[in-house]
Amino acid sequence: MMGEEYPVMMKEKAKLNNDPPAAAAAPHFVLIHGIGGGAWCWYKIKCPMENCGYKVTCLDLKGAGMDQTDPNAVVSFEDYNQPLLDFLSSLHDHQQVILVGHSAGGLSLSDAIHRYGKKKIKLAIFIAATMLKSGYLTNQDLKHGVPDLSGFGELNEVYDIGFGLGEDNPPTTTLIKREFQRKIIYNLSPHEDATLAEMLLRPGPVQALVTAKFPLAEKDEDEVPRIYIKTTQDNVIKAEQQEAMIRKWPPQHVYVLESDHSPFFSAPFLLLGLLVKAAVSFGY
């Protein structure tokens, strides 16, 4: 009967047409900024990555970039990281992304790994980032993951400090003062980029960051492969801190970049090359 013959006919038609297999979806990178930054940090590599055929999403976390929330009102890490969690929740079940986190953005990656694992995340790349499996659970975690800028002056000399909950409570935000930003964050970056950052950096919700704690769950945190990109001229997350985090939670690969703390400004094309290398090494 015709109804029975139709599936067979369609199979034969497909053979005759020699239909090519559907093309694999382009790798999707999701880029996460550090404290005080925003999606704007990635402007020098977003277009080149898209020109290479990759899909690229740059997110603003809560109280950062174009997000209108007062950072002094962001006092929990879950609240701060909600834009990334919402984005990952919106992905279809079969979709995986490559997460890229810079500086404190590494905490956002660790949080996402705990929550979603390989279901949503193909690969996690930490760039000069805080890479702690459980967040700030111990004093050692704080020593390894929190920038030590004491070499540049006292805390109140280096930072503008916000007390959104009153001066009797711990600080809610910090921002490196303008006169220190180029020396500390952008010491190898073009002057134009340091100037742009000076205009766009916002106070970062430090109170939210110190609540970043991720107790070990049933999900295997090591099921998502990780790559760490070390920055050799970094004045924020110093070389010894990066090495300590790598030893404590060893990633699959470690790449080295001759850069300051902001390689998306100081070495954008070298950084792009490492991101492409990472994607290729894990099957893209």
Contact 257, 229 (CB under 8 A): yes
Catalytic residue among 33, 114, 144, 261: 261
CA distances from 6 to 1, 2, 91 (A): 9, 6, 35
Catalytic residue among 103, 110, 259, 266: 103
* Class of residue 8 by CB neighbours under 10 A (exposed 0-12, middle 13-18, buried 19+): exposed
**Beta-carbon neighbour count of residue 107 at 10 Å?**
28
Is 261 catalytic? The answer is yes
The first and second tokens of residue 227, run together, are 């790559």
Query: Choosing from 234, 259, 260, 262, which is the catalytic residue?
Result: 234
Beta carbons of 64 and 102 less than 8 angstroms apart? no
Judged by phi (left if over 0) then psi (alpha if -120 to 50, else beta), residue 61 lies in beta
150 catalytic residue (yes or no): no
Whether 148 sits among the annotated catalytic residues: the reply is no
Catalytic residues: 103, 234, 261
